[in-house]
Structure 1
Amino acid sequence: MLLFHGGAGVAGTIDCYQNICNRITKGADVVLVSVGYGLSPEHPYPSQYKQCLAATVHFLQNAETYGVDPSQVVIFGDSAGGNFTSVVAQQLTKRGDLPKLRAQALIYGGFQAMDFQLPSYLQNSSMPFLTQENTVIFGLNYFNKDPALKEDVLRGSHVPDDFRLKYRKWVNADNIPQKFKRGYREVPLAPYKPEVYEKFPELMDLTFSSLFAEDHVIRQLPETLFVTCEHEVFRDDSLLYMKRLEDCGVKVRWFHSKQGFHGVMNFIDVGILSFPAGVEIVNCIIDFVESL
C-alpha cells in the first residue's frame, strides 16, 4: 500500500499519519509506504500529485525488492491525499509498461471544483475541520492565488459556459441519493466571469478535478473503496465520483460514516479527543485490503 496524506497540499506530514500507518500495517499485514511530498507554496501545484505519481511508479517498478507482488499494490489517501490518489490512478491508465493497480481507496476526498453549493457543502458549511468557505481558502493557498477570488469561486463564476454544459451531467444534485438532500434548495452557479477563470484555470483541470475525466479513462480504473462522512463538505464529491465509476463498470465499495467529519481518521489515538468514527474508517480500510 502507498499512502498519500491529507493536508490541503499545504500541511501534513508522514509523522502525523504514523498511528494510522501502524494500525493498517498490523491489521492488514501489508507493506505500507507513506509518501512524503513537498508542500505549497515552496512546492507549487502540480508538484504534489507528480511526486505521488513518481513514488508510485518507482514502487511498481521495484515492488519485488520489498517482497511485494507488483500486481497487488493499493494506493490510498484522505482529503487532499484522496484527490492525489484519484489523479495518480487516472495517470497510471496511460502507462502500459507498468503493472496495473490492484485497488484504490479514496477517503473523504475532493474530486471537483465546479460547484461548491452541493447539498453537503451547504449542510456542513460551518462544520469543523473544513468549512465551505475554507475549502476555497485552502484551494487558493494551495494554488498560490489571490484571496480576493474567494467569493467568485464559491459562487461558481470561475466556470466557463462550455464547461457547465459538458460537466453538469456529472456534477448535479440529481445524481445524489435523496436521503442526503434533506432541506436542500438548489443554488445555481453565478454568471461566468472570464477574468476569474483566466486567473484560476487550474481548478477545472483534470489533475485537480478528477471527476471530469472521460469515460474511457474511468473504465480503466481499479477496484475502488469510497469512504464518506455525513458531516463534511466533500461527501457529495465522493458520491458523484462513485456514480461515475459505477456507471462505467468499475467495481466499487462504499463505506459511509454516519458520525464522521472531515479529518476524523486522524483522531484515533489522541486520548479524550479520540473518535470511534476514526477507528471505524481505519478498520474499514483494513477489511477492504484483506478482502482483495
Structure 2
Amino acid sequence: MIIKDLVFDEVPVRVYWPRTPTINKRRAMVFLHGGVGLFGDISKFDPFCNYIGRKSDSVVVFVRFRLAPEHPYPVPVLDCCTATIHLLKNAERYGVDPNRIIIGGDSSGGTFAAAVCHELATRKDLPRVRAQVLLYPFLQAVDFHLPSYQQNSSIPLSYKKRFLRFGLLYLTGRNVKVDEVIRGAHVPEELRVKYRKWVSADIIPEEFKDRGYVPPVLAPFSKEFYEKGKQALEPMFSPLLVEDTVIRQLPDTFILTCEYDIFRDDGLLYKKRLEDNGVPVTWHHVKDGFHGISMLVDFGPFKFPSEQIRFQHVIRFLECL
C-alpha cells in the first residue's frame, strides 16, 4: 500500500492506496476507529486499514478525529463528517469514484459511521454515500438491560460498567456515576414509550436469549440524570433513535455482530429497523466472536487467521459495491 498523512479541511487523515495499477477510479472506505471517542490511534488500526485496502483493492481513509474528554461529543463525530464531506467533494483528486464511497467503523467508530450516514442522507449537494459498514457498533443509550448486556456484562474487554463510564466521559467531558443510568433513570417515560417500538428485548429473536434474560426493574425517572445525559438520546449519539424518514434514505448496510459482546443486540435491533424500512442489509454474526476482533486481523505476530476468514465477509461486501 502507498500511505500518506494528509489533512481534509483541518481534519488529519491517513490515506492508503493499493499499489496495483488501475485505469478506473477506485472505491474508498472512510474508516472511523473505536475507542469510545476517548482512545485509539493509527498504530492500533494500521494493520486493519492495510488489510481492508489490500484485500478489497480499495482506497482507505483513516480519520484521526479529536478525542474526548478534551473534545467531548459531538466534536469527534463532526470531525468525521468534515473529513467524509471533503472526500465526497474531492474524490477524483484522490483517485476515488465519488459514487463508491463507503463509511465504516468498529465499536464506537461504527456509531460514528451510522451518525455520519444519517447526517449525509438528506444532503442533495453531495454524491450519495454508497454503503455503511458497522462492526459491532454501539447504537442506543436507552436500554442497558437487553439480553446481550445481561449475558456479557462481565466479559473481558466488554465490561458493561466500564463501557458506560467511558461513554458518559465522552458525552460530557467529565466523570458521571453510571448506576442510575444503567437502571434507566435518565429516560423520561414518554420517551421510553416512544422508543419501545425500536429498543426492546421483545424484538430480539428468542435464540439470542438462550444464555439467559431477566426482564429488568427500572429506576424511576430522575430529572437530574436526564439533564446530565440527555444528549445521549440524540440520534447523533444513539443512531438507533433516528426517525424513519432518515432511516429510509440510508444506503446498503453491512452489520457484523459478535455473540460475546454487550452491543450485540444494538446491531440486531438496527438490522431490523433498516430491513423494516426497505434498506438492504448484509448481516454476519460471529458465534464465538467478542468485542474488538477487528484489531486481531493481520496484527503482526498476534494475527489470527480465523479473524481474517471472518472478515472475508466484509471484503466480499465491499467487492460487490
TM-score w.r.t. structure 1 length?
Answer: 0.96
Give the CA deviation at 1:83. 0.2
Structure 1 pair 98–126 and aligned structure 2 pair: CA distance change class (3 A): same
Q: Report the Cα distance in structure 2 between the residues aligned to 1:84 and 1:47, rounded to whole angstroms.
A: 11
Amino acid at match of 1:186: P
Structure 1 pair 62–270 and aligned structure 2 pair: CA distance change class (3 A): closer
Give the CA deviation at 1:149. 2.5
Q: Report the Cα distance in structure 1 between the residues aligned to 2:277 and 2:57, rounded to whole angstroms.
A: 31
Give the CA deviation at 1:107. 0.4
Question: Structure 2 matches for 1:22-101, cutoff 5 A?
Answer: 22-101=50-129
Q: Report the Cα distance in structure 1 between the residues aligned to 2:190 and 2:56, rounded to whole angstroms.
A: 45
Q: Report the Cα distance in structure 2 between the residues aligned to 1:47 and 1:282, rounded to whole angstroms.
A: 30
Give the secondary structure class of the aligned counterpart of 1:156: coil
Structure 1 pair 32–95 and aligned structure 2 pair: CA distance change class (3 A): same
Question: Structure 2 matches for 1:1-292, cutoff 5 A?
Answer: 1-144=29-172, 147-182=175-210, 183-270=212-299, 273-292=302-321
Q: Report the Cα distance in structure 2 between the residues aligned to 1:96 and 1:25, rounded to whole angstroms.
A: 29
Give the secondary structure class of the aligned counterpart of 1:21: helix
Give the CA deviation at 1:276. 4.5
> Over aligned residue pairs, what C-alpha RMSD do you find?
1.4
Structure 1 pair 97–277 and aligned structure 2 pair: CA distance change class (3 A): same
The 8 Å contact of residues 105 and 113 in structure 2, kept in 1 or not, is answered as: yes
Give the secondary structure class of the aligned counterpart of 2:99: helix
Amino acid at match of 2:72: P
The 8 Å contact of residues 10 and 41 in structure 1, kept in 2 or not, is answered as: yes
The 8 Å contact of residues 230 and 259 in structure 1, kept in 2 or not, is answered as: yes
Give the CA deviation at 1:147. 3.7
Structure 1 pair 197–188 and aligned structure 2 pair: CA distance change class (3 A): same
Give the CA deviation at 1:271. 6.0
Q: Report the Cα distance in structure 2 between the residues aligned to 1:193 and 1:43, rounded to whole angstroms.
A: 27
**Any idea what the Cα deviations from partners look like across 1:219-238, whole Å, max 9, x if unmatched?**
00000000000000000000
Structure 1 pair 42–272 and aligned structure 2 pair: CA distance change class (3 A): same
Q: Report the Cα distance in structure 2 between the residues aligned to 1:274 and 1:218, rounded to whole angstroms.
A: 36
Instruction: Choose between structure 1 and 2: higher strand proportion.
Output: 2
Q: Report the Cα distance in structure 2 between the residues aligned to 1:175 and 1:282, rounded to whole angstroms.
A: 27
The 8 Å contact of residues 113 and 204 in structure 1, kept in 2 or not, is answered as: yes
The 8 Å contact of residues 265 and 281 in structure 1, kept in 2 or not, is answered as: no
Q: Report the Cα distance in structure 2 between the residues aligned to 1:69 and 1:270, rounded to whole angstroms.
A: 29
Amino acid at match of 1:122: Q
Q: Which stretch shows the higher mean deviation, 279-288 or 176-185?
A: 279-288
Q: Which stretch shows the higher mean deviation, 268-277 or 183-192?
A: 268-277
Give the CA deviation at 1:264. 1.2
The 8 Å contact of residues 167 and 212 in structure 1, kept in 2 or not, is answered as: yes
In structure 1, stretches of 5+ residues that fail to align are none
Give the CA deviation at 1:272. 6.6
Give the CA deviation at 1:14. 2.0
Amino acid at match of 2:251: P
Amino acid at match of 1:60: L
Amino acid at match of 1:245: L
The 8 Å contact of residues 20 and 282 in structure 1, kept in 2 or not, is answered as: no
Q: Report the Cα distance in structure 2 between the residues aligned to 1:188 and 1:169, rounded to whole angstroms.
A: 19
Give the secondary structure class of the aligned counterpart of 1:69: strand
TM-score w.r.t. structure 2 length?
Answer: 0.88
Q: Report the Cα distance in structure 1 between the residues aligned to 2:174 and 2:71, rounded to whole angstroms.
A: 17
Following TM superposition, the consecutive aligned residue runs of length 4 or more in structure 1 with deviations greater than 4 angstroms are: 270-273
Q: Report the Cα distance in structure 2 between the residues aligned to 1:280 and 1:256, rounded to whole angstroms.
A: 13
The 8 Å contact of residues 104 and 223 in structure 1, kept in 2 or not, is answered as: yes
